Amino acid sequence: MQFLTLIHIDPTLLAALPQDEYDRLMRGCFEKADAFRDAGCLLGSQQLEDPATARTLRVREGLSRVTDGPFAETREFLAGFNLIEADSMEAAMAIAREFPWARFGSIEVRPVRDMQSVRTRVGAPA
């Protein structure tokens, strides 16, 4: 099964972290990510730029509107993600626990839907 880990960060908590500690944590994350990738558990990962660089598109009643920033006002923002392979939600949570970012926000772990089965169900061509 595939799972997406969505890493949400509280910028206030992250800003309080000394730069050398942040760098140490990031090095550790890269080392863990490399090990998970080599073991076939990590399929992809990426950090996201600051929310101030985002644009949000909404279409309502045929009219599109683009606004700066994320969709909703929130203290935490989406900072990155990992696409992982695991046998169960519990195994995916164990992988998520290996990364330190829940101390500075939260890590949401969500199963990835099988798009091929949805494609088949709705009759979309392959």
What are the tens digits of pLDDT across the range 1-55?
999 999 999 989 999 999 999 999 999 999 999 999 999 999 999 999 988 888 8
Q: What CA–CA distance (Å, rounded) separates 12 from 35?
A: 30
Q: What CA–CA distance (Å, rounded) separates 36 from 55?
A: 32
What does the pLDDT read at residue 74?
A: 67
Q: What CA–CA distance (Å, rounded) separates 121 from 124?
A: 8
Radius of gyration of the chain (CA): 17
Cβ atoms within 10 Å of 74's Cβ, excluding its own: 11
Which superfamily does 2-122 belong to? Dimeric alpha+beta barrel (3.30.70.1060)
What does the pLDDT read at residue 75?
A: 77
Hey, where are the domains in the chain?
Answer: 2-122
What does the pLDDT read at residue 70?
A: 65
What does the pLDDT read at residue 5?
A: 96
What does the pLDDT read at residue 19?
A: 95
Pair 1, 93: CB distance under 8 Å = no
Q: Coil, strand or helix: which one is 72?
A: coil
pLDDT digits (tens, 9 = 90+) for 48-98: 998 888 888 889 999 999 888 765 566 788 999 999 999 999 999 999 999
* Cβ contacts of 83 within 8 Å, gap of 6 or more: 2, 3, 4, 42, 43, 44, 45, 112
What does the pLDDT read at residue 55?
A: 86
